[in-house]
Amino acid sequence: MQVSFSKDWKPDKTGSYLPLSQEGSRKDPAGSGGTVHNYGHRVLEKGGYPVVTESAPDVLRITAELADVYINAPDTMSAGRSYSFVMSAGHMTLVAELRDSETGQIMARVFDQREARNDHYLQLSTSVSNSAEAREAVRMWANVLLGRLNAVRVEPTPEP
């Protein structure tokens, strides 16, 4: 799972005006890539679509990435007492392609941006809350995909 951050994202160390190191700012603070991969698989499998790793006539290859990720207050797990409060955890865009697994023909391309929940009051921002917001966006995307797959699903007809 590829994760790319917004070109405008320049996070500071929590409780400071100092920027995060290049290494610290480009790692995936909310675990978004793994979250999409694991959570997306679970939703599809629970919906009746087994996740496989080999091409076959009835297999759809889905590639996805998170782009334009902007985390308002990444939890840097730094020593000392400092807290960040945000109205929203940030935003990210799903970029996905659905292809025939054998021919590679593109069946669909998806681009969808999601803003994290904004309850119009300040909330404590932690790695746990950031991951929860990422999981919620992934849950919504996976359920939309599941609904669309079910809408076009063709059940095999039994042979006489």
- Which amino acid belongs to residue 15? G
Whose tokens are 């590679």? That residue is: 104
Whole-number Cα distances in Å, 94 to 3, 6, 17, 53:
10, 13, 30, 21
Over residues 124-150, the pLDDT tens digits come to 877 788 888 888 888 888 889 889 888
Q: Residue 5: beta bridge partners? A: 69
Domain boundaries, the chain: 2-152
How far apart CA 86 and CA 125 sit, in angstroms, is 6
The answer to whether residue 113 scores a pLDDT higher than 50 is yes
